[in-house]
Every structure is written in structure tokens, then in C-alpha cells.
Amino acid sequence: MRVSMHNLYANNLQSLQNSTVDIARLNEMMATGSSILRPSDDPIGAVKVMGNERDMAATEQYLKNTESLSSSFGRAETYMSSMVELQNRMREITVSASNGSLSAEDRTAYAAELEELLESFSDVLNAKDEGGNYLFSGNETDTPPIGKDAAGNYVYQGDTSHREVQTSSSSWMTANSTAADFIFSNGSADILNQTKDFIDALEDPALAPGDPAFDQVSGDMLASLDDTLTSISSAITDIGGKQNTLSLVQGSHEERVLFNKEVIGETEGLDYAQATAEYNLKLTTLKVTQQTFVQVSQLTLFNHI
């Protein structure tokens, strides 16, 4: 009798502990909304969820990269469009100022406007992003791309590096253009110093359209403008193509993130109705076990038999 009573007591105690653990586990499940609290709950499901979570984390990073690239390209395109507008006006002035019927005063007035346009063009080339980094300096993002040397000539101060950003598991995209790409690499002299030379010619009272020296500078100016406009327009077209590609890639990434979320939800998502029913059943079982345990504990007379 003593052995049977001991077993009954132990069994009730174990049942009480099991019910308490089960209820705590169900409470945690309902709090987290997950049916897999630890790998041992569902080894196969846990491995599947971890795989989807890794894939989703990588895809979300690629999505952030593409969004950042798209924003950066948008800023660059805006500044490049401003460059084109400035260059077009500079070309209009060059053509007009090369008219032989103009007076010296007219040429001086055009020179003054070109000075302002040249300064504006230099400022646009030295544009920064929202983080204070120079957009067109390559990897030298803390250095303005355009500066002047001791002689007052314009020089490129950045580098020619291009940053590559990963947009998917197997794809990378060039993230930046440099001023060297479309200002200092065309077939003619760079437009900054060429404009400076043309301004000097316009301000020189000894020179006028029809003079070989003036016509040479004017012709070089037009050639440099055309080369620069072609380079900048090509860069804008390239950005447009990249933006289209990014739009497609972003859509694909968004779908992949959604797919992973759905798979994770289906694998570890908690059926609240079922969990609630099980919780109520476990709670009832616990109450019955507690009552039985109290009753058994009070039968101390059997300990003396």
C-alpha cells in the first residue's frame, strides 16, 4: 500500500508539472504568434523557416541597395539636366558672340554672362548628396571634383573610380559617374578651361570675329561644347536605362520578400483558434490535477500503514 500511495503521489506531481509546462508554452506561442518556439518543436519546419529568413534578409538588403541607387541616380540626373541647360545657353552665346556685326561692348556683355554660367556649371559639378558627399568625385567623396591650380586653371581633383553596388545575388551595378567621365575625357579640351579661354578672347579688344585667333578659340569652344553635351546626354541616357532596370529588380525583390513572409507564416504561424482550445483544455486538466494532488496529499494516514 505504501508503494502504491507513493506512485500515485509522484504521478500526480509529474502530471501537474507537465500541465504547467504545456500552459506556459502555449502562452508563449500566443504571445509570439509562432508555433515554433525552438528547433526541437519542429526540426524540419525550423530549418525551412531559417532558410526563408536568411533569403528574406538578403533580399531586403538588395532592395535597400536598389532604393538607395535609384535615389542617387535621381539626384545625379537632376544635376546633369542642369548641366545640359547651362551648356545649351553657353552654346547660344558662343554662336551669337561670334557674329562679326557685334560691338566690343556686346562681346564684353556676353563674356560677363559666360562668367556667370561657368561659375554655375562648376558649382553643379561640385554638387553634394544629402550626406554631404560630392556626387561626381569618384571615391574621393570628401573632395570637390572641380578646383583650380596655382595658375587659375580648372583641374579635376577626384579619382576615376566607380563604385559597384550589389543589386541581387548575382548582379552588381555601377553606382556613380565622375566629372572626369563627361568633362575631362572628351575629344576636345575640357569645357571649363575652354570657356575661360573664350571669355578672355571676348574681353580682348584686339580680337574680333573674323580674326584667325578669335575664330580658332570660337571653333574650339563649339567643338568642346558639343563633345561635352554628347557625354552628359549619354550619361543621362545611361541613368535612365539603369532606373528602368532597378524598377524591374525592385518589383522582383518585393515579390520575393512577400513570398518568404507567406512561407514563414504558413510554416510557423500559430492557429489561434486551435491554440486557444488547447490552452483551455490544458487549463482544465491542470485544475483537475491540482485538486487530485491536494486530495492525495491529505491522505497522510496511508503513510503509517
pLDDT digits (tens, 9 = 90+) for 131-170: 899 999 999 999 999 999 999 999 999 999 999 999 999 9
Higher pLDDT pick, 35 / 99 = 99
86, three cell numbers:
547651362
Report the DSSP beta bridge partners of residue 134. 128
CATH of domain 51-128+168-173+185-264: 1.20.1330.10
In whole numbers, what is the pLDDT of the chain averaged over residues? Answer: 85
| Alpha helix stretches (DSSP H) within the chain | 2-32, 43-97, 104-125, 179-182, 191-203, 212-268, 272-298
Average pLDDT over residues 4-20: 61
Domain boundaries of the chain, sorted by first residue: 2-33+274-304, 51-128+168-173+185-264
Average pLDDT over residues 112-116: 98
Q: Which of 59, 25, 28 is nearest to 263 (CA)?
A: 59
- Spatial separation of the C-alpha atoms in residues 195 and 241, rounded to whole Å: 31
- Spatial separation of the C-alpha atoms in residues 36 and 33, rounded to whole Å: 9
- Spatial separation of the C-alpha atoms in residues 239 and 50, rounded to whole Å: 37
CATH of domain 2-33+274-304: 1.10.287
> pTM here?
0.76
Yes or no: say if 69 and 164 are a contact pair by the CB < 8 Å rule.
no
Q: How far from chain centre, in Å, is Cα 57?
A: 15
Q: Is 206 helix (H, G, I), strand (E, B) or coil?
A: coil
- Spatial separation of the C-alpha atoms in residues 206 and 293, rounded to whole Å: 116
Residues contacting residue 264 through CB under 8 Å, at least 6 positions apart: 49, 52, 53, 56
Cell 568633362 maps to which residue? 183
Q: Is 199 helix (H, G, I), strand (E, B) or coil?
A: helix
User: Between the CA atoms of 22, 23, 26 and 32, what dihedral angle is there, to the nearest 10 degrees?
Assistant: -120
Confidence of residue 27 (pLDDT cuts 50, 70, 90): low
Residue 106 has pLDDT above 90, yes or no: yes
Residue 302 has pLDDT above 60, yes or no: no
From 72-76, 119-123, 258-262, 275-279, the region with the lowest mean pLDDT: 275-279
